[in-house]
A and B are shown apart, each in its own frame.
Chain A
Amino acid sequence: MTTMRSAAGLCVLLAAGAASAQYSAGGIKVGLLTDMNGVYSAISGPGSQKAAEMAADDFMKANKDFAGKVTVIAVDHQNKADIASNKASEMYDRLDVDAIFDTVNSACALATSAIAAQRKKVFIDTGAGTSELTNEKCNKFTFHYAYDNYMLANGTGTTIAKQGGKTWYMIYPNYAFGQNLERQFRAAVEKNGGKLVAPSDATPFPNTDFSTYLLKAQSLKPQVFGTMQAGADLVNVVKQYNEFGLKKQNIGLAIGLLFESDIAALGQDAYQGAIATVPWFWNLDKAATDWSAKFEKAAGKKPTFDQAAVYSAVTQYLQAVKRAKTDEGEKVVAQLEGHKFNDFFARNAQIRKEDHRTILDVYQVQVKPKSEAKAEGDYYKEVNKTPADQAFTPLSESKCKMAQ
């Protein structure tokens, strides 16, 4: 015990030479655990890694004390929860990673969150949707950034229902994310006076052909066809939605989770008129556009909102480390909790202390036709803005034990 104390004391003394702060071996290590090659790698992947590196570099430039102290590593979880779990342990234990970011896949996010709680190290999820992260499965070391299923459903469902889209038919991929999102959408639609004309259909995941459901939609004639599919599945749904001419039959399209890469995969005309909710898009305003130009220069393409969120989250984390004067998990958590901020990504943002949900203004967007696009990738027309305090699960409805 005494030896350990004196060893610790020695470390403190050594560290004190540089700055009066204490950082773990190897300085501050930012870890990215995400899909580097698979279906979600266009949304996150190498682009997220680039964003994290940019955040670290910018932070070190602005804070000379930290020069050379922040490093970024990226690890692939291959969209498998068991691999995510192993890799997260390895990152915290062996690679001295202080905080893990992104994860993009809900199952991987939940696995990582459990490891973070065990190791008492920070985990900030930007890319996964499941709202369980800040509800049933919340814990002291897990933070949820950018978006979640509640925000998507509440934003899109409410906006469309208020615009007069009262009759709905929905399909969802049959796994955790899809089931959760469908439930949230149904609740939002019904709360705003809409109704489902038929029970939602669970489609196999992954799936290529959705003709059965599109034909069903033709005969049900709802005002809105809601799809909770994501990634390649969503691209298939939208492609076939156009093929079956549903728009011409006045059946509108509501999309649960839409990324810029999904639009690029079909061209924006295929999505024209579709409504979705996003926390950010690259040409939202000047701050966003300026940052995106920097990102595009470094990464060779425009950022997705997940990649922008990674930059923002890493920056917030590093600033919390700076305030805490240490990278020790519990102390950084204390600095993050309740923190209010504004940056190029998050407006009127606050990291809620009660459930670790980061709230921010979110946007209901409608995909505009190519003819109205002013630049490559100019996809969205903002139709509504939901203020931060209304966009996310109200604390009174939170199932997070920390909130109660």
Chain B
Amino acid sequence: MQDGAVTLLFIQIFNGLVNGAFYALLSLGLAVIFGMLRIVNFAHGALYMLGAFTAYALGEKFGLGFWASLAIAPLSVGLFGMLLERTMIRRLYDLPASYNLLLTFGLTLVIQDGVRLIYGISGQPYAPPQQLSGATNLGFIFFPTFRLFAIVVSVVVCSVTWFVIERTRVGAVIRACTENPTITRAFGIDVSLWVTAVFGFGSALAGLAGVLAAPIYSVDPLMGSELIITTFAVVVIGGLGSILGSVVTGYAVGVLVAIGSALYPPIANTLIFILMALVLLLRPSGLFGLQEAR
């Protein structure tokens, strides 16, 4: 009996890591955008949904499978993000934060309704690729193969992103662009181009999460609006703009929710917000956030 309980706990921790993989990918995108541009992107959930719908549309219209979509959908969503940045988001940089909220939240509604006009409110079917369908025997449990794949993608993408931004020259340029645009410009770097690229990259991450979610969750116009609330809580707990913080917190929150739902389901979703409230009380800049005056 004791043994069974331990196995169950172990299973739920493992399962939580998978859910965490999505939180991590999504909050990573948010953190990159906030960390570099100081924009809280409420349209992130809509971009995630667009990623899933792009994959669906690619399959429906062009017969492209999951693997092609895995490359094309994030790219398209990234390009769409860059377009948004160039035409609209750009104007927010010197405006008060409330404009940020109004614009990005407004964009969410426009994108959601746009998709709804085309595809309707109910979901669309999307199957995992042949190679990854079915379940794998992990010894202690049968686990969907696709979810194992999702966790691998998430870990790889998160680590690479962290490494690029924190440890490479490209990252140094990006950080310079946001910390002191004027001086960076003096070095002959096209700051505005980098800023667009960063926003595009953050959007592409949302798109990627969307493609990965398509075979697991219902593909419907409102799929992003649910997840985005949790994602924001993750980002706040991790520390706004902290890349490491959002990734680690993403996984941790996934595990927390899984254990919570196994022990006492009604509290599962509330747990995140309890944790968020505690963090805001005790360490307002988040677990990994720098003490930054803003």
Q: How far is the CA of A276 from the CA of B37 in the complex (A)?
A: 51
CB-CB under 8 A from A267, the residues of chain B are 125, 127
| Residue in chain B with minimal CB distance to A240 | B216
Residue pair A243, B217 in contact (C-beta under 8 Å)? no
CB < 8 Å neighbour of B121 from A39, A236, A266: A39
| Residue in chain B with minimal CB distance to A245 | B135
Residue pair B123, A204 in contact (C-beta under 8 Å)? no
Residue pair A204, B218 in contact (C-beta under 8 Å)? no
Query: Does B124 reach chain A (CB closer than 8 Å)?
Result: yes
| Residue in chain B with minimal CB distance to A238 | B218
CB-CB under 8 A from A265, the residues of chain B are 122-125, 218, 220
Query: Does A331 reach chain B (CB closer than 8 Å)?
Result: no
Q: Which residues of A346-397 have CB atoms within 8 Å of chain B's CB atoms? A: none
Q: How far is the CA of A239 from the CA of B18 in the complex (A)?
A: 16
CB-CB under 8 A from A215, the residues of chain B are 11-12, 15, 141
A42, A209, A216, A218 pick with most chain B CB within 10 angstroms: A209
Q: Which residues of A233-263 have CB atoms within 8 Å of chain B's CB atoms? A: 235-236, 239-240, 243-245, 248-249, 261-262
Q: How far is the CA of A248 from the CA of B144 in the complex (A)?
A: 13
Nearest Cβ in chain B — how far from A268, in angstroms? 10
Stretch at the interface among B74-82, B264-272, B279-287: B264-272
A42, A203, A239 pick with most chain B CB within 10 angstroms: A239
Q: How many interface residues does chain B have, given as a range? A: 35 or more
CB < 8 Å neighbour of A239 from B8, B218, B269: B218
| Residue in chain B with minimal CB distance to A267 | B125
Query: Does A264 reach chain B (CB closer than 8 Å)?
Result: yes
Nearest Cβ in chain B — how far from A246, in angstroms? 9
Interface size on A, residues (CB 8 A): 39
Query: Does A2 reach chain B (CB closer than 8 Å)?
Result: no
Nearest Cβ in chain B — how far from A109, in angstroms? 20
CB < 8 Å neighbour of B223 from A208, A218, A244, A245: A208
Q: A239-B217, A245-B134 are in contact. Are A211 and B19 (CB under 8 A)?
A: yes
Query: Does B147 reach chain A (CB closer than 8 Å)?
Result: yes
Nearest Cβ in chain A — how far from B270, in angstroms? 8
CB-CB under 8 A from A219, the residues of chain B are 4, 8, 11
| Residue in chain B with minimal CB distance to A38 | B121
Residue pair A174, B142 in contact (C-beta under 8 Å)? no
Q: How far is the CA of A380 from the CA of B15 in the complex (A)?
A: 34
Residue pair B18, A218 in contact (C-beta under 8 Å)? no
Q: How far is the CA of A237 from the CA of B78 in the complex (A)?
A: 30
Nearest Cβ in chain A — how far from B219, in angstroms? 8
Q: Which residues of A183-222 have CB atoms within 8 Å of chain B's CB atoms? A: 201-204, 206-209, 211-213, 215-216, 218-219
Q: A38-B121, A243-B216 are in contact. Are A204 and B147 (CB under 8 A)?
A: no
Residue pair B217, A212 in contact (C-beta under 8 Å)? no
Residue pair A201, B218 in contact (C-beta under 8 Å)? no
Residue pair B15, A244 in contact (C-beta under 8 Å)? no
Residue pair A236, B261 in contact (C-beta under 8 Å)? no
Q: A42-B120, A218-B141, A267-B125 are in contact. Are A232 and B218 (CB under 8 A)?
A: yes
Q: How far is the CA of A174 from the CA of B270 in the complex (A)?
A: 13
Residue pair B12, A212 in contact (C-beta under 8 Å)? yes
**Which A residues are within 8 Å of any B CB, using their own CB?**
37-39, 41-42, 45, 174, 201-204, 206-209, 211-213, 215-216, 218-219, 232, 235-236, 239-240, 243-245, 248-249, 261-262, 264-267, 270
**Which B residues are within 8 Å of any A CB, using their own CB?**
4, 8, 11-12, 15, 18-19, 116, 120-125, 127-128, 134-135, 141-144, 146-147, 215-218, 220, 222-223, 226-227, 258, 261-262, 265-266, 268-269
Provide a sorted-by-A list of 13 A–B residue pairs whose CB atoms are within 8 angstroms. A202-B266, A204-B269, A206-B226, A213-B261, A213-B265, A232-B220, A235-B218, A236-B217, A243-B215, A244-B143, A248-B135, A249-B142, A262-B122
